[in-house]
């Protein structure tokens, strides 16, 4: 029994040694195998993790920038669209107003046409009634337009050519001359002098200028730059015009254009001088009519010059009243 146990123990020891021997052998064999291969070293590559993030951020910034630009463009388009809408609305309102005015004008035109027809009928009826009452042979004693008698056959313009008139009121003077000529469609003669009696056209000194459309145009054209010396006193011009151009049987009107009469002159003496030259006939009418137009140029200057304006108005009103004419004082010289 003991021998058998001893053999078993020896067998166990041998088996254990075999196992250990096999283990060492395996290790030695493994070492021999690995010695023939080169050692392997592991390398770690640093991955740049920040690079993808930076690119994404840059892309994000670009997208945001493009978005802002797109938003600005969109807002600009919206504002432009709003402006177009406002303009369209304004144009629609204007068109509506124009249509309303057109309709109103059409209605007024119809009313005016009807009124003209009624006036024409009334004029015909009045003319017929006047002929019945006054008779077929009735004629007016004289022609009056705007309170100014226009029955003269000859007209003389006496124009103050002083600096105050020429540099301030000349455009209005040209207009007034044209208006007076229009009042007289046809006369036998015209003459133009300044307030001192100087002639605009020396070739017609002492004689009448024939009344033709070309002569009238020449008068206006020459008058634009005509400014001889003047002492702003109409006395010399009036006396020369009456003494030179009056002829018995001729109807003559003198038109005086001025802006002042200097304090040195005497209004009474001027009136008496004109009365002596422009004497009244047996019927009380004067040789020539004297009309006057006053231009308030000096009212725009210092008040000390205003007296000359009042003196001119007083003188010409008196002369016009005594000599069968009219005096017109303008409110403005422009």
CATH number at residue 324: 3.40.50.410
In angstroms, rounded to a whole number, what is the distance separating the alpha carbons of residues 105 and 274? 54
Q: Is residue 39 part of a domain?
A: no
Judgement on whether residues 174 and 127 belong to the same structural domain of the protein: no
Q: Which residue matches tokens 């008779």?
A: 135
Total count of domains within the chain: 2
Judgement on whether residues 252 and 170 belong to the same structural domain of the protein: yes
Judgement on whether residues 91 and 121 belong to the same structural domain of the protein: yes
Q: Is residue 22 part of a domain?
A: no
Q: How many helices (H) and strands (E) does the chain have?
A: 8, 7
pLDDT above 90 for 216: yes
Task: Tell me the sheet residues that pair with 292.
Answer: 256, 327
Judgement on whether residues 208 and 251 belong to the same structural domain of the protein: yes
pLDDT above 70 for 44: no
Judgement on whether residues 177 and 116 belong to the same structural domain of the protein: no
The residue-averaged pLDDT of 311-334 equals: 89
Structural domain ending residue among the three candidates 90, 108, 137 = 137
Domain enclosing residue 246, as ranges:
144-329
Question: How many C-beta neighbours within 10 Å does residue 216 have?
Answer: 17
Q: What sign results for the dihedral spanned by CA atoms 187, 211, 247, 222?
A: positive
Q: Is residue 81 part of a domain?
A: yes
Please state, rounded to an integer, the average pLDDT across all residues of the chain.
Answer: 81
Structural domain ending residue among the three candidates 137, 160, 185 = 137
Judgement on whether residues 130 and 149 belong to the same structural domain of the protein: no
Q: Is residue 47 part of a domain?
A: no
Question: How many C-beta neighbours within 10 Å does residue 259 have?
Answer: 26
Give the dihedral of Cα atoms 10, 14, 20, 26; nearest 10 deg. -170
Judgement on whether residues 159 and 255 belong to the same structural domain of the protein: yes
* Contacts of 331 by beta carbon, 8 Å cutoff, 6+ apart: 296
Q: Is residue 95 part of a domain?
A: yes
The residue-averaged pLDDT of 167-195 equals: 93
Strands (E), the chain: 144-145, 148-149, 154-159, 189-194, 252-258, 288-294, 327-329
Judgement on whether residues 152 and 291 belong to the same structural domain of the protein: yes
Judgement on whether residues 282 and 165 belong to the same structural domain of the protein: yes
pLDDT of residue 119: 64
Eight-class DSSP state of 40 = -
Q: Is residue 9 part of a domain?
A: no
Cβ contact 330:284 at 8 Å: no
Closest CA to 184 of 291, 277, 286, 257: 291
Q: For a pLDDT cut of 90, what percent of the chain falls above it?
A: 31
Task: Tell me the sheet residues that pair with 234.
Answer: none
Cβ contact 237:197 at 8 Å: yes
Judgement on whether residues 151 and 122 belong to the same structural domain of the protein: no
Structural domain ending residue among the three candidates 137, 154, 181 = 137
| pLDDT band at 125; cut points 50, 70, 90 | low
In angstroms, rounded to a whole number, what is the distance separating the alpha carbons of residues 2 and 182? 176
pLDDT of residue 142: 46
Q: Is residue 5 part of a domain?
A: no
Q: When comparing pLDDT for 148 and 222, which is higher?
A: 222
Q: Is residue 72 part of a domain?
A: yes
Judgement on whether residues 190 and 105 belong to the same structural domain of the protein: no
pLDDT above 80 for 2: no
Judgement on whether residues 169 and 318 belong to the same structural domain of the protein: yes
């Amino acid at each position: 029994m003991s021998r058998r146990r001893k053999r078993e123990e020896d067998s166990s020891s041998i088996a254990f040694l075999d196992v250990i021997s096999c283990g060492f052998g395996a290790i030695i064999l493994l070492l021999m195998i690995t010695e023939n291969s080169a050692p392997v070293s592991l390398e770690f590559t640093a991955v740049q993790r920040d690079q993808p993030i930076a690119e994404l951020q840059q892309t994000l910034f670009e997208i945001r920038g493009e978005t802002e630009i797109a938003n600005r463009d969109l807002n600009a388009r919206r504002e432009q669209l709003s402006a177009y809408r406002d303009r369209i609305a304004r144009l629609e309102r204007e068109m509506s107003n124009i249509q309303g005015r057109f309709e109103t004008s059409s209605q007024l035109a119809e009313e005016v046409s009807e009124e003209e027809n009624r006036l024409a009928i009334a004029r015909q009826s009045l003319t017929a009634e006047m002929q019945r009452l006054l008779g077929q042979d009735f004629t007016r004693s004289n022609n009056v337009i705007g309170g100014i008698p226009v029955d003269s056959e000859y007209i003389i313009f006496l124009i103050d050519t002083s600096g105050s008139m020429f540099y301030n009121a000349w455009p209005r003077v040209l207009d007034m001359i044209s208006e007076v000529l229009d009042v007289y469609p046809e006369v036998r003669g015209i003459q133009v002098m300044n307030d001192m009696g100087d002639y605009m056209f020396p070739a017609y000194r002492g004689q009448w200028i024939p009344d033709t459309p070309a002569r009238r145009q020449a008068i206006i054209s020459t008058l634009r730059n005509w400014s001889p010396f003047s002492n702003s006193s109409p006395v010399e011009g009036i006396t020369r015009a009456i003494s030179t151009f009056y002829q018995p049987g001729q109807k003559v009107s003198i038109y005086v254009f001025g802006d002042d009469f200097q304090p040195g002159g005497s209004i009474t003496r001027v009136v008496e001088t004109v009365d002596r030259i422009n004497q009244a006939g047996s019927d009380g009418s004067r040789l020539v009519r004297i009309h006057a137009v006053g231009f308030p140029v000096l009212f725009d200057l210092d008040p000390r010059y205003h007296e000359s304006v009042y003196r001119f108005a007083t003188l010409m009103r008196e002369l016009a009243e005594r000599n069968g004419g009219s005096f017109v004082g303008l409110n403005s010289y422009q």
